[in-house]
Amino acid sequence: MNEQEIGIFETKTHLSEIVQRVMRGERIFITRRGRRVAELRPVEPERLILAQGQAMNPDYFMAPDFDDSLDDMAEYS
């Protein structure tokens, strides 16, 4: 990931261009009198909720006894 330092005045002057660069993956540090005071970086993509039939997600978990009958329901069968 590319990094660059930009002064606060230049940031105010070219904000739209800087945001476009960040959206392309750059990380930019804003400085004030030569010291870093803020960081602009791309936002992490949101994790999508699994759609039906897409259990291939590594975070997906199903208990090994998921399909076993429930003892509490024996009287209803």
CA distance 18 to 38: 13
pLDDT over 70 at 72, yes or no: yes
Map 30-75 to HEC letters: EEECCEEEEEECCCCCCCCCCCCCCCCCCCCCCCCCCCCCCHHHHH
Q: What is the tens place of the pLDDT at every residue in 3-58?
A: 899 999 999 999 999 999 999 999 999 999 999 999 999 998 877 676 666 556 66
- Collapsing DSSP to helix, strand or coil, 2 comes out as coil
The pLDDT of residue 8 is 94
The pLDDT of residue 62 is 76
When comparing pLDDT for 64 and 20, which is higher? Answer: 20
Residue ranges of domains in the chain: 1-37
